[in-house]
């Protein structure tokens, strides 16, 4: 499936699945949409915290179609699932957001670790959640973020169990993708970053860590959602975790 085909299916309501493993080689992105009055602070927040919030494209106000990541993809319906947030809480999970749109909305597309997964797999590094067709495991941590206006909080990370001999290689490979989270933020000891129960993911699906594997943690684009909860904005829209925007740019376009 090409990214355009996936987006077209989504727009028609015919693709309702997490996007990991789809459209091999193409960039995937997290999405946050906010009323214009919060957009400046949020942009600075992303610039302050580039590892969890790598800003790839901003759309609007007054527009809802991408220019950089894809030519004219409609952000109102080309993502498979959206979350509608009210006062810092999830109000609804919906397949398209036309009825919530106003000229006032600003859309932020943020880099996603799915983008470097293909590079890991191509180098012979097995990723269990892909092999099991599950969503990646994500965890809240105690890693602080640099605040901007109402936006503050702690980093969310994705976790992949990596065969112990390949951990340094996984670090080097993902380090080549600084615009899509880059190298890990932590290797090996979940409790050091405030994760008490590694067997129970806070978002996505839990996966087993085998005795010859080490848990490796990358900054995760779900972080902004955590931050939205804390900011308790009256209104916001995001993608649903794991259900990403799929663009027409290649992951390799983001490799150094």
User: What ranges make up the beta strands (E) of the chain?
Assistant: 26-35, 55-59, 82-86, 89-94, 105-111, 137-144, 154-163, 186-187, 213-219, 236-239, 245-250
Give least dist CB 175 to a second copy, A: 5
CA dihedral 57, 139, 93, 248 (to 10 degrees): 30
Which of 118, 107, 32 shows the shortest CA–CA distance to 73? 107
Stretch that binds a second copy, among 108-116, 181-189, 198-206, 222-230 (CB under 8 A): 181-189
Give least dist CB 184 to a second copy, A: 5
Stretch that binds a second copy, among 27-35, 68-76, 94-102, 182-190 (CB under 8 A): 182-190
- What's the CA angle centered on 80, arms 45 and 182, to 5 degrees? 40
Burial class (CB in 10 A: 0-12, 13-18, 19+), 156: buried
Q: Is 175 in the site for a second copy (CB under 8 A)?
A: yes
Stretch that binds a second copy, among 33-41, 60-68, 92-100, 165-173 (CB under 8 A): 165-173
Give least dist CB 129 to a second copy, A: 21
Q: Is 168 in the site for a second copy (CB under 8 A)?
A: yes
Candidate list 83, 115, 134, 183; residue touching a second copy; CB under 8 A: 183
Candidate list 1, 187, 229, 250; residue touching a second copy; CB under 8 A: 187
Q: State which residue, 132 or 172, has the beta carbon closest to a second copy.
A: 172
Q: Is 190 in the site for a second copy (CB under 8 A)?
A: no
Q: State which residue, 149 or 168, has the beta carbon closest to a second copy.
A: 168
Alpha helix locations (H) across the chain? 3-11, 36-48, 114-122, 128-131, 167-175, 223-231
Q: Are the C-beta atoms of 229 and 88 separated by less than 8 Å?
A: yes
SS3 content of the chain, % helix, strand, coil (to 5): 25, 30, 45
Q: State which residue, 186 or 239, has the beta carbon closest to a second copy.
A: 186
Burial class (CB in 10 A: 0-12, 13-18, 19+), 65: middle
Give least dist CB 154 to a second copy, A: 14
Q: Is 50 in the site for a second copy (CB under 8 A)?
A: no
Q: Is 209 in the site for a second copy (CB under 8 A)?
A: no
Candidate list 52, 54, 111, 184; residue touching a second copy; CB under 8 A: 184
Rounded CA separation 31/237 (Å): 8
Q: Is 62 in the site for a second copy (CB under 8 A)?
A: no
Q: Is 144 in the site for a second copy (CB under 8 A)?
A: no
> What is the distance between the terminal CA atoms of the chain, rounded to a whole angstrom?
27
List of residues contacting a second copy (CB under 8 A) = 164-165, 167-169, 171-172, 175, 183-189, 192, 212, 214
């Amino acid at each position: 499936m090409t990214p355009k085909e996936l987006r077209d299916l989504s727009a028609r309501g015919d693709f309702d699945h997490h996007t990991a493993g789809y459209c091999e080689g193409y960039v995937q992105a997290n999405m946050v949409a906010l009323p214009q009055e919060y957009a400046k602070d949020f942009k600075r927040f992303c610039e302050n915290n580039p590892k969890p919030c790598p800003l790839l494209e901003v759309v609007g106000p007054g527009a809802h179609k991408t220019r950089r990541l894809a030519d004219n993809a409609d952000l109102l319906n080309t993502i498979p699932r959206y979350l509608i947030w009210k006062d810092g809480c999830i109000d609804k999970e919906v397949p398209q957001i036309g009825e919530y749109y106003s000229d006032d909305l600003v859309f932020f597309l943020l880099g996603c670790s799915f983008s470097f997964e293909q590079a890991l797999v191509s180098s012979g590094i097995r990723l269990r959640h892909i092999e099991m067709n599950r969503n990646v495991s994500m965890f809240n941590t105690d890693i602080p973020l640099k605040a901007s206006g109402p936006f503050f909080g702690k980093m969310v990370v994705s976790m992949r169990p990596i065969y112990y001999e390949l951990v340094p290689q996984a670090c080097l490979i993902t380090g080549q993708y600084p615009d899509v989270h880059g190298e890990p933020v932590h290797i090996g000891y979940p409790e050091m970053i405030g994760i008490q129960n590694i067997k129970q993911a806070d978002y996505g699906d839990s996966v087993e860590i085998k005795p010859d594997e080490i848990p490796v943690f990358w900054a995760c684009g779900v972080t902004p959602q955590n931050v939205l909860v804390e900011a308790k904005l009256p209104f916001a829209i995001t993608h649903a975790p794991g259900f990403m925007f799929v663009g027409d740019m290649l992951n390799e376009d983001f490799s150094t």
